[in-house]
Amino acid sequence: MADPQTVREQYRTPHNLDARIRLHERFSTNPYGWLRWVFDQFEFPSDTCVLEVGCGTGQLWTENRDRIPRDWQVVLTDRSNGMVSQARSVASALARQVSVLVADATLLPFADASFDAVVANHMLYHVPDIPAALREMHRVLRSGGRIVTATNGAGHLQELIDLVAAFDPELPFARQTGGRYAIENSPAFLSVFFDAIEARRYNDAVVVTDAQALVDYVLSASTVQALPQSRQAALAAFVHERFTDSGGTFTIAKQAGMVCGHKR
């Protein structure tokens, strides 16, 4: 899903993202939450100036509010005005040095070598020009600075993809998995600009026990929202039926992790 207009519409408000986040929050099997694990991978020193590109609603920081050092300076950016509006509300409640602004990942409004660390959490596969975004992240990092990118891997949400394909094999729901920038191919992207590339995996799955939560997730996808309302309703009914047939639980594999590096 790298078409700029599609991405803008998909993330114009937090509604679609929230539907996906809720499924993971409610039904993930790993008791140690994803965003807590992401924060563990930062390994940033004190007095760090951190930039998050594509911050969404800022949930990464609310989930770790108790862990943000007071001497960190945090800047959050997102291309969506709707996301930035919600992230600003989050930032105002953190009582930390956090600022939020609208910015394009491929044209960051910061001087060279402005940050000690850059975070890109599940967003690079949405960027039409991934190398341009990484080039900008490299530019605004100081020498030796750390980049931390989160993404998905092969087989992520495969059971959900198969479910939608059973309804309509021509519906390109699999595009939602972010294969353009995945755990498997992201080191090749990063190694153009960064050294010491390292991939780390997060072990998890989703065991869904609420059919409507599964339906909400499927209907949040841009490829599904492009369907006529009658087809969306038919898909929702199909998902409900398959959920019932599965005995009231639906297990989905997850493949997610971090790929990190340092500026040369």
Q: Minimum mean pLDDT among 44-48, 51-55, 256-260: which range?
A: 44-48
Residue that wins the pLDDT comparison between 200 and 93: 200
Give me the mean pLDDT over the 139-166 stretch.
Answer: 94
Quick one: tokens of 54? 């594509």
- What is the number of domains present in the chain? 1
The average confidence (pLDDT) of the chain is 90
In this structure, is residue 160 part of a structural domain?
A: no
Instruction: Dump pLDDT digits (tens) for 22-49.
Output: 999 999 999 999 999 999 999 999 899 9
In this structure, is residue 225 part of a structural domain?
A: no
Give the pLDDT band (50/70/90) at residue 51. Answer: very high
Instruction: Dump pLDDT digits (tens) for 156-191.
Output: 999 999 999 999 988 877 555 468 999 999 999 999
Give the pLDDT band (50/70/90) at residue 225. Answer: confident
Residue that wins the pLDDT comparison between 15 and 160: 160
**Residue 93: what pLDDT?**
82
Query: 57 is in which domain, residue-wise?
Result: 4-154+175-202+255-263
In this structure, is residue 148 part of a structural domain?
A: yes
**Residue 127: what pLDDT?**
94
In this structure, is residue 122 part of a structural domain?
A: yes
Nearest Cα neighbor of 201 from 60, 37, 85, 89 is 37
CATH number, domain with residue 49 = 3.40.50.150
3-state secondary structure string across 95-156? CCEEEEEECECCECCCCCCCEEEEEEECCHHHCCCHHHHHHHHHHHEEEEEEEEEEEECCCC
pTM equals 0.87
In this structure, is residue 230 part of a structural domain?
A: no
In this structure, is residue 242 part of a structural domain?
A: no
In this structure, is residue 69 part of a structural domain?
A: yes
**Residue 5: what pLDDT?**
58
Residue 7 has pLDDT above 60, yes or no: no
In this structure, is residue 34 part of a structural domain?
A: yes
Do the bridges between strand 194-208 and strand 250-263 make them parallel or antiparallel, or are there none, so unpaired? Answer: antiparallel
**Residue 13: what pLDDT?**
52
Quick one: tokens of 106? 């491929």
* CA separation for the pair 3, 209 (Å, rounded): 33
